[in-house]
Each structure stands twice: as C-alpha cells, then as structure tokens.
C-alpha cells in the first residue's frame, strides 16, 4: 500500500520515513496546511492507498496569541484532508493530543471521556478531531502525549542540552503522563492505516502513550541516569513554572482500546529512551 504523509521533518514524519521509505512525504513547500484546499488537492493528485497527517501547529504557547492561524492548520486542513479521503475511500490517520482534556483528576482518560481543552492549542486540535469525525469514512484519530525522539525539539534533547552547563535543575513534578517515542507512534500509524483498509468498522478515536506513567521530573531523572549525567533534579509545582498556555496536570491516557482493536500495546518509554540516547551518541 502506498502512503501519503503530511509532514516531512517532524519527529513522527522522520520515523515514518525510516519505516516506510517508499511513502510520499509532503513538507510545507509541497502542501502548506495554511492552505487546506492544497492539502485536499494533493490527496487527489497522488491517489494514495492511505493518508497519515503527521503535521500540525505544535507551538503550544504561541497559539495563545495566534489561535485563528493555529485553527486553520489544526482544524481546517485536517477537515479538507478527511473529506478528500472519504471521496476516494482512502484510510486516514490523524494525530492528536492529550491536551483535548482538562487535565483534572488522576485517572487515565479513555477515548470516549468528556473533553475540555484548557488552552488554544487544545481547542484547535479538538476542533480538528471533530471535523475528521464529521467527515466519516475510514479514519483513526490517534491521541498521544509527551513525544520524544533523536530528532527535532523535545524534552530529552532539552535536558541533555541543559546538562552540559547545569548540575542542578528544577523540573515540574505534578504533571503526570506517558512519554511516547515517535518511533512507536509512526509504527502505530502504519498499522492502523493498513487495518482500516480491510476493517472500516475500526474507524474511531484511540490513545497511544508510553508506559509507565511518570512526571516530567521523573522523566528528567531517567534521562540523566541513562546518559550518566550528574544533574540533581528538584521537583517543583506547575505554579512555579508559569507558561502562556495552561498545561494539564493529568496527561494519563487509557490505551486499552488501541490494543484491543489493533493489537498495539503501550511502548516501554525507558527502552525507547535508551535507543534514542544511543542514536544521539549519549551512553554510559
């Protein structure tokens, strides 16, 4: 099956290129998500076997002042993609986020739980989900969290960079979630797209996040331990680290339905972290 991927240089798109080197990857110059119709036309032109949307507005804090622009990219573009896929009877996998939830409580959120995004980014991503669901067809919305890899900007690379000049860091300890390797997300997208071809009834919303759940502080300690960096981590509350966009305290995701329907289990983020550090040339 031929894959058309929106996104080329992001973390998930980079991993998709490793797993599906024959796929067609569309960067901004080929399909600008600020032009939704261009995205739909790209699908019609390529007539792929499946489409994966691995591109989005992901600048969470910047979205607070640019929500209209973020909405075009995170809602209008996926909506156009979804409609084009329905017209061509093409499986469509769309990535979303735990930020569609309010971040309250301490129980993992299931796909059908009530949503209440607390920032502009979450609102635009939820609007994109709704548009994809409204289009119908052979779609899968895959919510994930705390993505990391050896590529692009992410928490792992930020911690390693800080470790070069710091021997102590304050890291938020009351936000809890599952760090998720981009490599696992890419593999999940390919599996879901393939299954949707033969099982249209599997269409729906799913969750995929690493296990075990931890805090940002716990994630940081694991990074420094595996990388053999002597950095003391002091846990601080979210209130001591204010950001323009509110962050959810509870990013736990219930991923059981993803395993039940697609046979995709939660990835061990610690094992994936070891692989990422090896790729970055950081080992004990």
pLDDT digits (tens, 9 = 90+) for 9-49: 999 999 999 999 999 999 988 889 999 999 999 999 999 99
Whether residue 283 has pLDDT greater than 80: no
- pTM here is 0.97
Query: In this predicted structure, what is the pLDDT of residue 284?
Result: 60
pLDDT per residue over 137-160, tens digit each? 999 999 999 999 999 999 999 999
pLDDT per residue over 209-232, tens digit each? 999 999 999 999 999 999 999 999
Mean per-residue pLDDT over the chain, rounded: 97
Residue-wise burial string across 233-256, b where 16 or more C-beta atoms lie within 10 A, e elsewhere = bebbebeeeeeebbbbbbbbbbbe
User: What six digits make up the tokens of 226?
Assistant: 């595996």
**Can you name the residues that pair with 103 across neighbouring β-strands?**
none
Query: In this predicted structure, what is the pLDDT of residue 28?
Result: 87
Q: What is the mean pLDDT of residues 185-197?
A: 97
Q: What is the mean pLDDT of residues 196-202?
A: 95
Q: What is the rounded CA–CA span in Å between residue 33 and residue 162?
A: 33
Neighbouring C-beta atoms of residue 27, cutoff 10 Å: 15
Q: What is the mean pLDDT of residues 113-123?
A: 98
Percent pLDDT > 90 in the chain is 97
Q: Which residues are catalytic?
A: 121
């Amino acid at each position: 099956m031929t894959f058309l991927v929106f996104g080329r240089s992001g973390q998930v798109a980079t991993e998709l290129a490793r797993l599906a080197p024959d796929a067609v990857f569309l960067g901004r110059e080929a399909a600008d998500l600020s032009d939704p119709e261009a995205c739909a036309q790209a699908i019609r032109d390529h007539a792929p076997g499946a489409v994966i949307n691995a591109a989005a507005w992901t600048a969470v804090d910047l979205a607070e002042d640019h929500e209209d622009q973020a909405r075009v990219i995170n809602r209008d573009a996926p909506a156009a993609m979804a409609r084009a896929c329905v017209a061509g009877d093409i499986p469509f996998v769309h990535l979303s986020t735990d930020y569609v939830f309010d971040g309250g409580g301490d129980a993992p959120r299931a796909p059908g739980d009530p949503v209440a995004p607390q920032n502009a980014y979450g609102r635009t991503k939820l609007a994109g989900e709704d548009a994809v669901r409204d289009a119908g067809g052979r779609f899968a919305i895959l919510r994930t969290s705390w993505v990391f890899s050896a590529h692009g900007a992410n928490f792992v690379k930020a911690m390693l960079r800080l470790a070069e000049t710091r021997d102590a860091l304050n890291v938020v300890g009351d936000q809890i979630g599952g760090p998720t390797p981009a490599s696992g997300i890419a593999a999940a997208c390919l599996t879901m797209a393939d299954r949707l071809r033969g099982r249209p009834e599997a269409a729906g919303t799913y969750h995929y996040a690493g296990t075990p759940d931890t805090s940002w502080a716990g994630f940081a300690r694991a990074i420094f331990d595996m990388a053999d960096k002597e950095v003391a981590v002091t846990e601080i509350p979210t209130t001591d680290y204010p950001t323009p966009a509110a962050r959810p305290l509870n990013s736990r995701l219930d991923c059981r339905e993803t395993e039940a329907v697609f046979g995709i289990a939660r990835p061990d983020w610690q094992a994936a972290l070891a692989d990422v550090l090896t790729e970055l040339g950081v080992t004990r």
